[in-house]
Amino acid sequence: MIKIKLSDLLGKHKMTQKALADMTHIRPATVSKMYYEEVKRIDINQLNNICKAFNCEISELLEFIPDEKE
C-alpha cells in the first residue's frame, strides 16, 4: 500500500489545505482527497508541485508499506 503523508507535511509546515491548493494550483477537493488518503490516482505534475511547495523529496510525501500476507 502507498501511504500519502500530506497531512504530516501540512502540519510540519503549518499550512492549510486551502493554502496548498492555491500555491500548487491543485483543486481543493483533490488536496482534501490526498489529505485523507482517499485519492485513487495522483498526477505526476501534482506530485512535482507539492514537492516544490514543501521543498521536499518524494519519499517525504509518499511511503510504501508492504501489504500483510494472509
Domain residues of the chain, as ranges?
2-64
pTM: 0.89
C-beta separation of 11 from 27 below 8 A: no
Alpha-carbon dihedral of residues 25, 65, 14, 58, nearest 10 degrees?
-50
Angle between helix axes 44-54 and 17-24 (nearest 10 degrees) is 110
Going residue by residue through the chain, which has 70 residues, state the pLDDT in tens, using 9 for 90 and above.
Answer: 999 999 999 999 999 999 999 999 999 999 999 999 999 999 999 999 999 999 999 999 999 999 887 6
Provide the 10 A C-beta neighbour count for residue 50.
24
CB-count burial class (<10 Å; 0-12, 13-18, 19+) for 31: buried
CATH of domain 2-64: 1.10.260.40
